[in-house]
Amino acid sequence: MKKLFSTAIMLLSFTVMDVSANQCPKALDFEIKRLGEDKVENLCQYKGKVILVVNTASKCGFTPQYEGLEKLYSEKKDQGLVVLGFPSHDFYQEPAPEQDIKDFCNLTYDVKFPMFTKVNVRGEKAHPFYKNLATETNSSPKWNFWKYLINKEGEVVKSYSMVTSPDGNKLTGMIDKLLSE
């Protein structure tokens, strides 16, 4: 009887550990539409990857960062990196409708990383995902191409300003560190 009880406790603990391992981290527990589509996705699907979140705009001096972001994504996606782009008109540089943004990204920069619906990224109207990023880092976007890094466990690690280049050592060094953990 004692052995049966011990076995039951052990099985229950494995079940509890398995359930907690499958839970979505707070930072990723959001649903959002893909850019120019009706398809809604849960960001939990990216748990287990290092995530670089970027608010983007098509008519900004930093728009050429799309090229560096795509290069970073293509070089490191097989190692576990994903770049998530979120167009925003908060800084008045993304006036286009979503299909035009999608076409611009594809035709001008051949963007393959996931792009999501146009959202507000700061202030009262910020999307809840961005509100959480700002709370976790104590830093909301000051301009387009503001970046946030999330580790494999779904914890927001750090934010980077728009002047941080996607191919600079400051960002890539941290990404490499997180990928190796």
Active-site annotation, residues: 60
- In angstroms, the CA 96 to CA 13 distance is 52
Residues 6+ apart with CB under 8 A from 140: 121, 122, 123, 126, 130, 133, 134, 146
C-beta of residue 122 within 8 angstroms of C-beta of residue 91: no
Tokens of 24: 């979505």
C-beta of residue 34 within 8 angstroms of C-beta of residue 14: no
- In angstroms, the CA 160 to CA 149 distance is 8
User: What would you report as the CA-atom Rg of the chain, rounded to the nearest whole angstrom?
Assistant: 19
**In this structure, which long-range contacts are made by residues 22-25, counting pairs with CB atoms below 8 Å and at least 24 apart in sequence?**
24/154, 25/153, 25/154, 25/155
